């Protein structure tokens, strides 16, 4: 009997020791037993000796069973150094995580060389813009990322379009994209339930565009809030208020939104195309806007209405055409009647485009000659959808609107972000953000 107990104890203790390790390339890496799938630390390098976290000492391919690794065929871009991984081509690192909001802490820099690092998350949400690090001067940066799945409850899901089903926003992992001259020492991921969540409801001018050269303001505004805020962008190309609600996206948001969060609502481009009795700016559009406002308030959240971004359509005299009809005016009236916060992006982007003028404004949209991007044999000439430069300018317009509102969110804009004046805009000649290496020539749904 005593012999059995001794054998059992040896076996049990050995089992515990084995469970404290995970296969990592050809070696065993110690894992902190206090870590969970929601809180993880990855240390990169061939000489890592830390007893906490997971030591990544080879350029591992992402494996769902393991739950982490270099993703999207980018492992070959990675060099593992004594205390970092480095890359000069776009590189993706993914970690399998449940739905939630996460704080990401990245230690960057190298003793061997200077670095210049851009970080995007999930479907190209900008988190860090061309940050320069001196040789031998490591820097830690913190940002927040929303991870989500289509599931609402045991019986309901968000209805995804076919082209959404394979994008990074809706899979079961967190993906970080590193661009520039990259040197990364460690990545720490911590579940955060106390962040202010900014939910976005909108169309193709708001959504996280998964592939270059398309972009929208929702995936650039992420770079301008401090580490108390996370953006959860549920916007989808081609949507109107009715289809957004019908696809369970509002229901999904309302299942998660809490007191003190925000719901930004920008629609109009596709609502204009819905004809028939009861529709139009003063019909279903106004009714549904009021419903979105009240639904957010019922949860203790703060609704913010955003009028639609202008299309790039100039009159001969250099002024902009009014392509949205009564829809901006209808949203203004809904905001007034319901005492809701309003950002008049229609007005601000009118000032912006007219300041640029006809030709310079083209540089903010997806307008490129043939063969600019892989597989693009025809000219791209879109007057609705933005490239990265244009999307960032629209994000700055939205920030201008936030700062002019009496809402706490304006105090959560990063202090170093300067005030934006659409009559003194930026120009693409000063735009240097590295492109992701994933492209699509088919334009997003909607116009």
- What DSSP state is assigned to residue 350? H
How many whole angstroms separate alpha carbon 123 and alpha carbon 211? 8
Reading phi first (left if > 0) and then psi (alpha if -120 to 50, else beta), residue 80 is in: beta
Secondary element (H or E) of residue 108 = strand 100-108
Tell me how far the alpha carbon of residue 334 is from its chain's centroid: 28
The two tokens of residue 2 are 């005593």
Reading phi first (left if > 0) and then psi (alpha if -120 to 50, else beta), residue 225 is in: beta
Query: What is the dihedral sign for C-alpha 349, 355, 358, 361?
Result: negative
Beta strand 302-306 pairing with 262-266: parallel
Query: Three-class SS of residue 426?
Result: coil
Matching residue, tokens 């490129």: 368
If we measure between CA atoms, which residue out of 296, 267, 130 comes closest to residue 205? 267
How many whole angstroms separate alpha carbon 303 and alpha carbon 296? 6
Our CA angle for 146, 244, 143, nearest 5°, is 15
Angle in degrees, 0-180, between the axes of helices 286-298 and 327-337, rounded to the nearest 10? 40
Q: Which residues contact 307 (CB under 8 A, 6 or more apart)?
A: 266, 268, 324, 327, 328, 331, 332, 342, 343, 344, 345, 346, 347
How many whole angstroms separate alpha carbon 144 and alpha carbon 49? 28
Task: Give me the DSSP letters along 176-226.
Answer: EEEEEEEEEEEEEEEE-SSSEEEEEEE-TTTS---SBT-B-GGGTGGGSB-
Residues with catalytic function: 204, 381, 385
**Bridge partner residues of 248 (DSSP):** none
Query: What is the dihedral sign for C-alpha 239, 241, 242, 247?
Result: positive
- What DSSP state is assigned to residue 321? P
């Amino acid at each position: 009997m005593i012999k059995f107990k001794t054998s059992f104890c040896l076996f049990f203790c050995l089992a515990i020791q084995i469970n404290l390790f995970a296969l990592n390339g050809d070696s065993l890496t110690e894992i902190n037993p206090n870590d969970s799938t929601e809180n993880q630390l990855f240390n990169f390098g061939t000489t890592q000796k830390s007893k906490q976290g997971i030591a990544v000492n080879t350029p591992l391919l992402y494996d769902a069973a393991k739950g982490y690794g270099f993703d999207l065929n980018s492992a070959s871009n990675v060099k593992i150094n004594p205390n970092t991984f480095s890359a000069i081509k776009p590189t993706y690192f993914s970690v399998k995580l449940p739905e939630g909001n996460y704080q990401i802490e990245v230690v960057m820099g190298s003793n061997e060389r200077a670095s210049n690092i851009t970080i995007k998350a999930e479907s190209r949400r900008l988190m860090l813009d061309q940050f320069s690090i001196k040789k031998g001067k490591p820097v830690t940066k913190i940002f927040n990322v929303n991870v989500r799945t289509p599931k609402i409850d045991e019986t309901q899901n968000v209805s995804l379009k076919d082209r959404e089903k394979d994008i990074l926003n809706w899979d079961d992992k967190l993906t970080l994209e590193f661009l520039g001259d990259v040197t990364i020492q460690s990545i720490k991921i911590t579940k955060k339930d106390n962040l202010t969540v900014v939910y976005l409801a909108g169309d193709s001018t708001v959504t996280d565009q998964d592939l270059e050269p398309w972009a929208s303001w929702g995936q650039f505004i992420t770079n301008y809030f401090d580490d108390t805020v996370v953006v959860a962008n549920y916007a989808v190309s081609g949507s109107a208020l009715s289809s957004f609600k019908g696809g369970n996206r509002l229901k999904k948001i309302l299942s998660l939104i809490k007191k003190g969060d925000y719901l930004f609502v920008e629609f109009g481009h596709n609502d204009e195309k819905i004809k028939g009795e009861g529709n139009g700016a003063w019909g279903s559009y106004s009714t549904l806007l009021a419903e979105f406002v009240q639904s957010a308030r019922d949860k203790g959240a703060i609704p913010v209405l955003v009028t639609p971004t202008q299309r790039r359509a100039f009159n001969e005299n250099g002024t902009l055409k009014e392509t949205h009809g009564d829809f901006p005016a209808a949203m203004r009236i809904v905001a007034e009647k319901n005492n809701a916060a309003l950002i008049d992006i229609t007005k601000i982007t009118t000032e912006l485009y007219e300041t640029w003028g006809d030709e310079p404004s083209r540089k903010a949209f997806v307008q490129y000659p043939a063969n600019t991007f892989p597989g693009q044999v025809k000219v791209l000439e879109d007057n609705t959808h933005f490239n990265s430069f244009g999307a960032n300018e629209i994000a700055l317009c939205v920030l201008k609107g936030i700062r002019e509102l009496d809402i706490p969110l304006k105090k959560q804009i990063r202090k170093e972000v300067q005030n934006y004046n659409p009559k003194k805009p930026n120009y693409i000649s000063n735009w240097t953000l590295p492109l992701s290496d994933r492209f699509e020539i088919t334009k997003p749904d909607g116009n």
